[in-house]
């Protein structure tokens, strides 16, 4: 029969203090426990901690050394040790002994007696004594307040490293706990409460360990992102089915139409649609469809540069699936679907999948920004511009003008950012300097920083691999130009279908400007598929440069966007059948991966 209590001491490079900590822990346990064990959970240390822990295990029958060759992170190291422990009550506290061990008997007794399933020390309860700098105290209260509100926790202090668990309860929780590092404490307490276990707090006397400071990577980025992930998993994802997502998207579109109806005569819009030439609209759809195999060819070239050679047909289907998801989800949430399809069907790692998407998006954004600038310049040289009308439209009221203003301003910002990012990528692609590591390691020496640095460097290396090869850059750039030229021609055909008369040069120039600005506006994560922003920007620019009424321009914008979305959705449906992939499953699984850690 094993000891009734197992105490786990998480240790990383603790050679200066680990021996004193173990001896004091053994003494504290001997004062009230007839049998116990102390496990030193050594986590890939680079100093003499393993040697000291091994020697202490030989000297004390109650001490065990749980060795780790590689750094797992605090959370995973604790999980490994808890699974190896023999006690019915599992305890852990930080090796700096910040919490006074005089509280250990009360902590253990509260679980052994059955009063609580999980017990934790608290520095924020009445009766607690916590000697900490004001900055740390304020940060702690803010953090714990966010956890209480966002994760609906009933506890005051989630991060005190002084906890005890009923063995069966903890082992039932561990499969659900995803964090590997400092957020592990909060997550296990929150999940225990959600499962209905009895979780209690005990006031403690606490002092900060030496060298305790605010770590921007661990405390802000790491803990903040983990808090957001847990909130999503516990509060949002159970309610956010695919049906709910689609219904929310449809509601946003309907709301946009209701608001638009206050400022645009929808009767005229409908009349314009009825009068449009269906043959030209069909030709526009067929022309637009031609751009999709080009997308597959371009993506093939991008992936080939990253070491993955795939067929154009498969890649075109994967693009159709992700773009179909983007029609329904805001913030380009469907992009992760493509990375998911590549992973499950071809074994492409998620960082590579997302990097390839970033390359494609970068080329798209730079291409349409350049095309928009070229169109504007050509219109200016050709004397086709109507600056007064454009300024008037930007200053006008109404829903269409408002969405147009947002779209134009957003498009300019996105375009400038894309060109700047492209310049940085091209410059860094031909440099051996590692920009991310020095910046992140200066900010933090925690394992969060090391993990984040590795992910950033892998991602950057994949993105730069394409930019480093001139022939690949040229091929991908040429394909991008052809794809967006086809998009512009399709929009011009739609305007022709609505009876818009203009010189071919002027029509193509205005369509290039309207389509490019509209698509840059769609980058803003304000609506599913950019619906509303695209139509607003498109309408505003067409009315400013061509002799077209607002209802007709708006109707053309709606039809142009609608037919392109219909082609996308139809291609997505065909791709689901061809690739045997469920879009709803792909969205759910891809969403999990965006919030989790890729391997």
pLDDT average, residue stretch 554-559 = 86
Give the pLDDT of residue 244. 58
Whether the Cβ atoms of residue 54 and residue 20 lie closer than 8 Å to each other: no
The per-residue pLDDT for range 20-65, each reduced to its tens digit, is 999 999 999 999 999 999 999 887 788 888 899 899 999 988 999 9
280 or 438, which is more confident: 280
Complete DSSP assignment for 131-178: ---HHHHHHHHHHHHHHHHHS----S-S--SEEEEEHHHHHHHGGG--
pLDDT at 506: 80
Q: What pLDDT, on a 0 to 100 scale, did the predictor assign at position 12?
A: 83
Ordered by start, the domain boundaries in the chain are 5-214, 242-433+465-595
In this prediction, residues 286-312 reach a mean pLDDT of 92
| Side-chain-side CA neighbours of residue 232 (13 Å) | 14
Structure tokens at 181: 């590092």
pLDDT, tens digit, 9 for 90 and up, residues 244-267: 555 655 554 555 455 444 445 556
Give the residue among 519, 247, 260 at the shortest CA–CA distance from 403: 260
pTM: 0.58
37-42 and 118-122: which strand pairing?
Answer: unpaired
117, 166, 185, 393: the catalytic one is: 185
Which has the higher per-residue pLDDT, 465 or 99?
99
Q: Regarding the domain delimited by 5-214, which CATH topology (the fold level of the hierarchy) does it fall under?
A: Spore Coat Polysaccharide Biosynthesis Protein SpsA; Chain A (3.90.550)
Model confidence at 541: pLDDT above 90: no
pLDDT for the residue 370: 81
**Strand pairing report for 129-130 and 118-122:** unpaired
Residue-wise pLDDT for 311-358, tens only, equals: 999 999 999 988 888 776 655 667 778 888 888 888 888 778 888 888
Q: What percent of the chain has pLDDT over 70?
A: 70
Q: Enter the tokens of residue 296.
A: 């597959």
335: annotated active-site residue: no
φ and ψ at residue 528, rounded to 5 degrees: -60, 130
**Residue 121: its H or E element:** strand 118-122
- Find the angle CA(516)-CA(522)-CA(528) to the nearest 5 degrees: 145
Residue 405: which pLDDT band, with cuts at 50, 70 and 90? very low
Nearest of 567, 245, 327 to residue 335 by alpha carbon: 327
Q: Considering only 183-192, 204-213, 242-251, which range has the smallest mean pLDDT? A: 242-251
Report whether pLDDT(216) > 70: no
Whether 101 and 28 have beta carbons less than 8 Å apart is answered as yes
Work out the mean pLDDT of the chain and round it to a whole number.
Answer: 78
| Cα–Cα distance, 164 to 103 (Å, whole number) | 12
User: How confident is the model over 463-471, as a mean pLDDT?
Assistant: 74
Residue 501 tokens read as 């008369």
DSSP code of residue 209: P
pLDDT at position 178 is 84
Q: Please check the confidence at residue 86 and state whether its pLDDT lies above 60.
A: yes
Task: Give the orientation angle of helix 350-381 with respect to helix 291-305, to 10 degrees.
Answer: 130
Average pLDDT on 583-594 reads 57
Find the helix or strand (DSSP H, E) in which 39 lies. Answer: strand 37-42
- Reported as a single tens digit per residue, the pLDDT across 113-143 is 999 999 999 999 998 988 877 777 888 888 8
DSSP letter for 208, please: P
Averaged over 450-474, what is the pLDDT? 69
**243-278 b/e with 16+ CB inside 10 Å = b?**
eebeeebeebeeebbebbeeebeeeebeebbeebee
Kindly indicate the confidence band of residue 372, based on its pLDDT and cuts at 50, 70 and 90: confident
Supply the pLDDT for residue 393.
46
Q: Count each helix (H run) and each strand (E run) in the chain, helices first.
A: 24, 9
Q: What does each C-alpha distance from 153 to 98, 160, 176, 351 come to in angstroms? A: 24, 15, 17, 34
Q: What is the predicted pLDDT for the residue at 599?
A: 42
| Residue 366: CB atoms within 10 Å | 19
Distance of alpha carbon 485 from alpha carbon 364, whole angstroms? 12
To the nearest whole percent, how much of the chain has pLDDT over 90? 30
Residue 42, beta-bridge partner list: 11
**Lowest mean pLDDT across 2-16, 320-334, 405-419:** 405-419
């Amino acid at each position: 029969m094993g000891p009734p209590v197992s105490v786990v001491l998480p240790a990383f490079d603790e050679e200066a203090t680990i021996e004193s900590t173990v001896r004091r822990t053994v003494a504290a346990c001997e004062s009230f426990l007839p049998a116990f064990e102390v496990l030193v959970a050594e986590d890939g240390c680079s100093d003499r901690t393993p040697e000291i822990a091994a020697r202490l295990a030989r000297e004390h029958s109650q001490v065990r050394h749980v060795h780790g060759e590689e750094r797992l992170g605090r959370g995973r190291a604790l999980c490994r040790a808890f699974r190896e422990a023999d006690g019915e009550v599992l305890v852990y506290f930080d090796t700096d002994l910040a919490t006074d061990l005089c509280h250990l008997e009360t902590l253990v007794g509260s679980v052994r007696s059955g009063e609580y399933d999980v017990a934790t020390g608290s520095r924020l309860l009445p009766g607690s004594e916590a000697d900490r700098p004001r900055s740390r105290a304020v940060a702690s209260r803010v953090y714990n307040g966010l956890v209480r509100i966002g994760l609906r926790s009933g506890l005051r202090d989630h991060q005190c490293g002084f906890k005890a668990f009923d063995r069966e309860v903890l082992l039932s929780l561990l499969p659900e706990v995803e964090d590997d590092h400092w957020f592990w404490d909060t997550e296990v307490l929150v999940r225990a409460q959600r499962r209905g276990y009895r979780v209690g707090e005990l006031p403690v006397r606490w002092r900060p360990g030496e060298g305790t400071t605010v770590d921007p990577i661990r405390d802000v980025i790491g803990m903040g992102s983990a808090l957001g992930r847990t909130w999503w998993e516990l509060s949002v994802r159970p309610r956010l089915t695919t049906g709910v997502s689609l219904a929310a998207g449809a509601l946003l579109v309907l709301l946009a139409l209701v608001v638009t109806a206050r400022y645009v005569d929808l009767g005229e819009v409908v009349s314009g649609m009825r009068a449009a030439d269906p043959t030209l609209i069909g030709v526009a759809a067929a022309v637009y469809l031609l751009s999709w195999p080009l997308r597959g060819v371009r993506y093939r070239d991008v992936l080939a540069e990253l070491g993955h050679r795939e067929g154009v047909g498969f890649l075109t289907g994967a693009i159709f699936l992700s773009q179909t998801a983007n029609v329904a989800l805001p913030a380009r949430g469907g992009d992760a679907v493509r990375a998911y399809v590549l992973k499950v069907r071809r074994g492409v790692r998620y960082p590579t999948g997302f990097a390839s998407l970033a390359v494609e998006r970068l080329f798209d954004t730079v291409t349409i920004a350049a095309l928009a600038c070229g169109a504007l310049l050509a219109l200016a040289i050709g004397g086709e511009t109507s600056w007064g009308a454009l300024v008037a439209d930007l200053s006008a009221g109404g829903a269409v003008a408002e969405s147009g203003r947002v779209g134009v301003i957003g498009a300019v910002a996105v375009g400038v950012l894309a060109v700047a990012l492209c310049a940085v990528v091209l410059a860094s692609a031909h440099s051996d300097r590692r920009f991310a590591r020095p910046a992140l390691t200066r900010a933090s020496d925690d394992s969060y920083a090391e993990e984040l640095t590795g992910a950033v460097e892998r991602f950057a290396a994949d993105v730069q691999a394409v930019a480093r090869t001139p022939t690949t850059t040229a091929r991908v750039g040429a394909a991008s130009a052809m794809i967006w030229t086809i998009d512009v021609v399709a929009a011009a055909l739609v305007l022709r279908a609505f009876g818009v008369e203009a010189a071919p040069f002027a029509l193509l120039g205005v369509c290039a400007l309207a389509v490019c600005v509209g698509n840059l506006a769609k980058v803003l994560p304000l609506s599913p598929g950019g619906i509303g922003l695209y139509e607003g920007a498109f309408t505003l620019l067409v009315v400013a440069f061509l002799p077209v009424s607002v209802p007709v321009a708006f109707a053309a914008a709606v039809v142009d966007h609608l037919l392109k979305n219909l082609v996308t959705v139809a291609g997505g449906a065909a791709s689901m059948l061809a690739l045997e992939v469920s879009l709803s499953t792909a969205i759910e699984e891809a969403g999990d991966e965006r919030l989790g850690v890729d391997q």
